[in-house]
Amino acid sequence: MSERWRRELRRLEEATPTEGLLERARLGPTSTVPDRRTASPAVVVIVAFSLFAAAGALTWNAFGPRIGGTTDGVGSASRMSATLHGVSLEYPASWTLVDLWPLAGDIASWPEPGSVIDVPKDTPEHGGLPVLQLSNRDLGLGSACGAELNGGEAVLYVAASGGPYLIDAEGHPRWPATLTRADGPCGPGWYAYRESWLDTGNGSGEARPYLVYAGFGPDVPDADRDEVFAAFSTLSFSPENDFLYPPAESSPGYVQGTLEDQTSDTYVFSDVRIEEYPYRERSGDIRG
Amino acid sequence: VSDEERDFDAIWRDIGPTLWRAVLAYSGGRRDVADDAVAEAFARAIERDRQIREPRAYLYRVAFRIAAAELRRDGAAPERDVPLEDEHPLADLAPALRRLSPSQRAAVYLHYVADLPVRELASLMGTSSAAVRVHLMRGRRRLAELLGEDQPDE
């Protein structure tokens, strides 16, 4: 180890934990930061609203554009990159990326905490297991799959799937790997069917199919439509580890990617608490 | 998981110091954040005990999540400078670490110092191996730049 950065990094080993941390832990939890999705939607809305109200006008100004859905990704100079549950993509900085994986917990089942996902047979009706959703407007934390998109809304939706429903009677993928116009489980739009390979070691592996849906409102600007396809072109899926598991340590939330010239921060860093962000649930036609 | 209570003294000895240093790196040298996050993670693990199947992964994920929340609450940005004593072992390193993203800091520490394989690191951080490799590549490149040395070949 000759590089200075490595030598300096080793100095972290000289730092020692403060004494008594375990004894302090034995006194019980104290933080209000939840480690899993514990709050009911109603409680979350109340907490979010309260925090939002308390934040005042400055916060409103800071967050308002995201809530109001008036952001315009067209021509945005900065772009974000993020990796969420193995799905990586780039998108305009002004767009909204939402971690939908907790919604998968409403569809799929896991035999016990920490166990591998057990995709139910009726998954097809739900358009796969929601993983993430990118949109030019803030559509809240619900899935737009199956919802009617309004006005200029543009959405890119990614779902991990159980696979079989995406195969036709002849065993062929129902949709090609590129976005193609079709009427699918999320409604009329554009669909792509893909598979990633999960190396399970010893030269073996498993195919992990996933579904991509692009949906547009009737008045979507061409530029926003192009941005959806551009984001799709950057999309990749490395289905390792966490996407298989229930959102036991997570919660639904907005994702903060980072500027392209820095890094893509994932899961832990991007697990923005919904209590810390004002948001709105879209009523009616959004289904989880 | 058996019905017996877990031996958290043993778990602490096994992973406590490494986890604490990882969170210390993640927070850019914030000892207060590392203390709070690790103590809270252990507190929750102790409280839930048998409900947790993989305590090691649980502790890492919860500790990082709490640290992330504290940093956000404090408005901590990579440029934020928290003074350290001159003799502090991180006095030279911390300013450079703070120019990295939190995930980069944690990844470079856990991989290059704690010697965790990428796949295990990804599991503990709750992300993919591909994302960890990106963190490592960008983290070491940035550190090499900041410390005035050429980028390593690796």
Banded pLDDT at B138 (limits 50, 70, 90): confident
Nearest CA in chain B to A23: B39
Query: pLDDT at position B39, please?
Result: 95
Tell me the chain A residues in contact with residue B128 when contact means C-beta distances shorter than 8 Å.
83, 85-86, 238-243, 266
Contact residues, A window 214-253, toward B, CB-based 8 Å cutoff: 236, 238-243, 249-250
Contact residues, A window 112-151, toward B, CB-based 8 Å cutoff: 112-115
The answer to whether B130 faces chain A, any CB pair under 8 Å, is yes
DSSP A187: E
DSSP A177: S
Amino acid, res. B111: H
What tens-digit pLDDT sequence spans chain A (288 residues)?
447 778 778 888 888 899 999 999 999 888 655 444 333 333 333 333 333 333 333 332 322 222 222 233 334 447 777 777 778 888 887 888 887 776 776 666 555 544 555 555 555 445 677 888 999 987 777 788 888 898 999 999 998 864 444 555 665 555 567 888 888 778 889 988 777 766 666 666 666 678 899 999 999 999 999 999 999 988 887 765 444 555 543 444 566 554 332 233 332 223 322 222 222 222 222 222
Query: pLDDT at position A223, please?
Result: 93
Tell me the chain A residues in contact with residue B12 when contact means C-beta distances shorter than 8 Å.
21-22
Tell me the chain B residues in contact with residue A245 when contact means C-beta distances shorter than 8 Å.
none
Indicate whether B7 pLDDT > 60. yes
Tell me how far apart the alpha carbons of residues A21 and A24 are, in angstroms, rounded to a whole number.
5
The pLDDT tens digits for B100-110 are 777 788 888 88
Hey, which residues does A155 pair with through a beta bridge?
A135, A215
> Which runs of E-coded beta strand occur in chain A?
79-84, 87-92, 96-99, 129-135, 154-160, 180-184, 187-201, 204-216, 236-237, 253-254, 258-259
Cβ distance of A29 and B17 shorter than 8 Å: no
Cβ distance of A240 and B126 shorter than 8 Å: no
Nearest CA in chain A to B43: A25
Query: pLDDT at position A19, please?
Result: 92
Query: pLDDT at position A230, please?
Result: 92
The answer to whether A268 faces chain B, any CB pair under 8 Å, is yes
Mutate to test the interface with A, among B9, B40, B124 (most CBs of A within 10 A): B40
List own/partner pairs for A34-39 with CB under 8 A and 24 or more apart: A34/A251, A34/A273, A35/A249, A35/B41, A35/B44, A35/B61, A35/B62, A35/B65, A35/B66, A36/A247, A36/A248, A36/A249, A36/A250, A36/A251, A37/A102, A37/A105, A37/A247, A37/A250, A37/A251, A37/A252, A39/A275
Which pTM was predicted?
Answer: 0.45
